[in-house]
Amino acid sequence: MPGTEFSFELIAQDGKARLGKISTERGDIDTPAFMPVGTQGTVKGVFTDDILKTNTQIILANTYHLLLRPGIQTLNKFKGLHNYMNWKKPILTDSGGYQIMSLSKFNKIDLNIGAIFKSHLDGKKIILSPEKSIQVQKSINSDIIMVLDECPKLTKDKKILSKAIEVSTNWARRSKIEFGNNKSKALFGIAQGGLYKDLRIESIEKLIEIDFNGYAMGGLAVGEKQLDMFSILSETTDYLPKKKPRYLMGVGTPSDILGAVNEGIDMFDCVMPTRSGRTGLAFTWAGKVNLKNSKYQNDKSPIDEKCEVRELNKYSKSYLNHLIKSNEMMASMLISLHNIYFYQQFMREIQKNIKNGTFQMFYKKYINLFD
């Protein structure tokens, strides 16, 4: 509802797993929540109306990519991304911090200025300062805005990680000033520190001093082992404010999500459902199904008999196998939609089991299913 202030309610806990609700002016978000990734204003290969039918309550878009295309002038004409892409529910935007790592060969970092990019599209110089990142996210009209941070690549070098904390804390403070006071929107801080408990706690404490609406764990899902990620979450999530949402950026497989929920994380995003869909990989309650496999050539059964979104339960594995082998784009569209549907069903079951006090049974049943 317009005028609704951003808020988070912690409803129940089962161990460290948390059931909650985020309220925004564009609707509520039940947590733990999964956000499909719409980097450039589209969840690849999936119609907006179909995303809604999967019970998705929020999607993610990317500041850096939308700054390049379509650009701020265009987004301002449409009064933001919601109108531009015909999505009425909440949007969270990544600040561009991840691109500082993923496009490192195109950029350099200056503590006082920000990230200086050479556009990967046309080579033009782009300066993404903390202030600029917030300004772009305001033009996108994001409901949840992320501070600009430095996300280092996987490393054991404490000097590199400490420097990233210094830069990220400085940029977080500047982001907060630029964000100003808008109670209908939220600004999240991003903790760094790699796999070191002391550095993570240092980063978290510095962010808490600045004070944000929510807190993210950044710099994970960058190549570390799953158990290492779970371990650092286990050691550090209790230092995050209990009454504010906790977001693990860029995660992950259903097993990754389940393990992180077990450590007290509330929000997730990942390209996994659609990227896997484009390669013919489906996620199901029986585990992963590689529909390229010839054993499905004559299989009359659907991926999921209960999935009625766009009548996905009417398409056989045999037909999908045929589409994949024929390089038909319909294959990736159908499997991507199925995967988003499955992820959202998976989150609903997590929520239900936390509420019922049976989360540990659910956890033990599914934690190793998607390896």
Which of these is catalytic: 50, 94, 143, 149? 94
Write out the H or E segment, with its range, that includes residue 116.
strand 114-118
Which of these is catalytic: 50, 149, 256, 269? 269
Helices 359-366 and 254-261, axial angle in degrees (round to 10):
150
| SS3 per-residue string spanning 275-343 | HHHHCCEEEECCEEEECCCHHHCCCCCECCCCCCHHHHHHCEHHHHHHHHHCCCHHHHHHHHHHHHHHH
Question: Is 94 assigned a catalytic role?
Answer: yes
pLDDT at 155 over 60: yes
Task: Compute CA 276 distance to the chain's CA centroid, rounded to the nearest angstrom.
Answer: 16
Classify residue 53 by burial, with Cβ atoms within 10 Å: 0-12, 13-18, 19+.
middle
- How big is the CA angle at 209 (ends 208 and 210), to the nearest 5 degrees? 90
What pLDDT was estimated at residue 108? 75
- The amino acid at residue 32 is P
pLDDT, tens only, 281-339? 999 999 999 999 999 999 999 999 999 899 999 999 999 999 999 999 999 999 999 99
CA dist., res. 330 & res. 277, Å (int)? 10
Higher-confidence residue: 108 or 63? 63
Q: How confident is the model at residue 39 (pLDDT cuts 50, 70, 90)?
A: very high
pTM, entire model = 0.96
DSSP of 120-183: TTT--EEEE-HHHHHHHHHHHT-SEEEPP---PPS---HHHHHHHHHHHHHHHHHHHHHH---T
CA dist., res. 235 & res. 351, Å (int)? 23
What are the structural domains of the chain?
7-270 (3.20.20.105), 277-337 (no CATH)
pLDDT (mean) for 97-108: 60
Q: What is the mean pLDDT of the chain?
A: 94
Beta-carbon contacts of residue 71 (< 8 Å; ≥ 6 apart)? none
CA dist., res. 300 & res. 244, Å (int)? 47
